[in-house]
Amino acid sequence: MGPSGFSSRGAIFVLASLGAGIAPNLSLLVLARALQGLGAAILVPCSLALLNHAYATDEARTNAIGVWAAGASVALAAGPVVGGLLIAAIGWRSIFFMNVPIGVLGIWLTWQYAQDTTQLRNRELDLPGQAIAIFALADLAAATIEGGKVSWTDPWVLAGCSLFVVSAAAFVILEFRARSPMLPLSLFHDRTFSAATLIGLLINVGYYGLIFVLSLFFEQVKNYTALRTGLAFLPMTAIVLASNLSAGRISARFGPRVPILFGLALFIAGCFSLLRVGPSTPYFKMAFQLLAMGAGIGLVVPPLTSVLLGAVEKKRSGIASGVLNSSRQAGSMMGVALFGSLIAQKARFLHGLHAALFVSGLLALVGCCLGLLI
């Protein structure tokens, strides 16, 4: 993967954004959004692979990944606010058009500064593996959501769960036999790689699942406007940015295990201390817990990503970062689906929120145990 390869993938995202902005109907808009997602899904692991090749030492790589993660945090915080302002001032199409100059600038910078990287040759697209993986994850999400809406003993929900187990098993068998698997199972022979991937999955289940249910808590229970809800998360996102940048220095001094375990402990403390939150809880009494959760996640991601990339050969860093990104995206989807099912019944919303907080804390606790293997 070099400047030309990365730029061509960036062009997919730019052209899809332009297509979404000029889409004359809903069908073409959905198609353009799907292509946007495809472009973004390719760009993220490729960008990490470029970083891995650009920085030779663990310390430099962790610092660079911290800046990379901080940039994502800024985008996460600014996106809803800037998007809301653009829609109010210009219209919804503007939120897609704004990606075009940013993407073109990114392509130009890639050509100016990115280095060519070593890569695996003669790799084929694993289309069957990708198709089964998409089907299995979509089926899991649907079964989880329906289980919360109706009943976990509903025949259709049980059938969906059974189908997920079968399709997941089929995916593993297919990847084991594939000549160029989408997910090389041999990567998981490394203890550090396996632990880092599982931690990435678990923290995203908890973090993004909680972002989803807490946003609904602010809007439906505390009756915040959409803008006020976005502003309520700004301190949390801001401290993610700060802790992303600090994680590299802490990791360089104490090793990657320390910021990972300390970050997970902060996240656990934030989750468990919110277990009694309710409609009458003032925001300032939640702010410290939200800050703890954000700081914790910010400390975990850069060293976790760095140790995962350091566990594989440089020529496989693109695949490794793709595995981590896929596991984290799957975790986000699972978190939203699972926690969404917990709050599906409005009469038990608070009970579901408290259960989501408790589950998130437990998942982070499991992550702490896995962190000892790194």
Domain boundary among 179, 194, 211: 179
Answer yes or no: do 138 and 83 share one domain: no
Domain holding 190: CATH number? Answer: 1.20.1250.20
Residue 162 lies in a domain: yes
Domain range enclosing 237: 186-371
Distance CA 43, CA 275 (A): 38
DSSP letter at 186?
A: G
Residue 118 lies in a domain: no
Answer yes or no: do 241 and 304 share one domain: yes
Answer yes or no: do 190 and 159 share one domain: no
Residue 340 lies in a domain: yes
Residues whose CB falls within 8 Å of the CB of residue 112, separated by 6 or more in sequence, listed in order: none
* Number of domains into which the chain is organized: 3
Answer yes or no: do 206 and 326 share one domain: yes
Answer yes or no: do 166 and 206 share one domain: no
Consecutive 10-residue averages of pLDDT for the chain (374 residues): 70 92 92 87 76 75 80 71 78 90 88 67 72 86 78 86 93 87 84 93 92 91 84 85 88 91 96 93 92 94 88 79 82 87 83 95 96 90
pLDDT score recorded for residue 121: 55
Map 81-142 to HEC letters: HHHHHHHHHCCCCHHHHCHHHHHHHHHHHHHHHCCCCCCCCCCCCCHHHHHHHHHHHHHHHH
Answer yes or no: do 227 and 367 share one domain: yes
Residue 359 lies in a domain: yes
Residue 335 lies in a domain: yes
Answer yes or no: do 212 and 231 share one domain: yes
pLDDT score recorded for residue 19: 94
Q: Give the pair of three-digit tokens for residue 71.
A: 């940039």
Distance CA 343, CA 339 (A): 7
pLDDT score recorded for residue 244: 87
Q: Give the pair of three-digit tokens for residue 35.
A: 């292509």
CB of 62 within 8 A of CB of 53? no
DSSP letter at 78?
A: H
Residue 213 lies in a domain: yes
Residue 50 lies in a domain: yes
Answer yes or no: do 322 and 212 share one domain: yes
Answer yes or no: do 342 and 206 share one domain: yes
Residue 119 lies in a domain: no
Answer yes or no: do 233 and 321 share one domain: yes
Answer yes or no: do 139 and 210 share one domain: no
Cite the DSSP H helix spans in the chain: 3-22, 26-54, 58-89, 94-97, 99-113, 127-149, 155-177, 191-216, 226-232, 234-254, 257-272, 283-310, 317-342, 349-371
Distance CA 311, CA 197 (A): 11
Answer yes or no: do 252 and 347 share one domain: yes
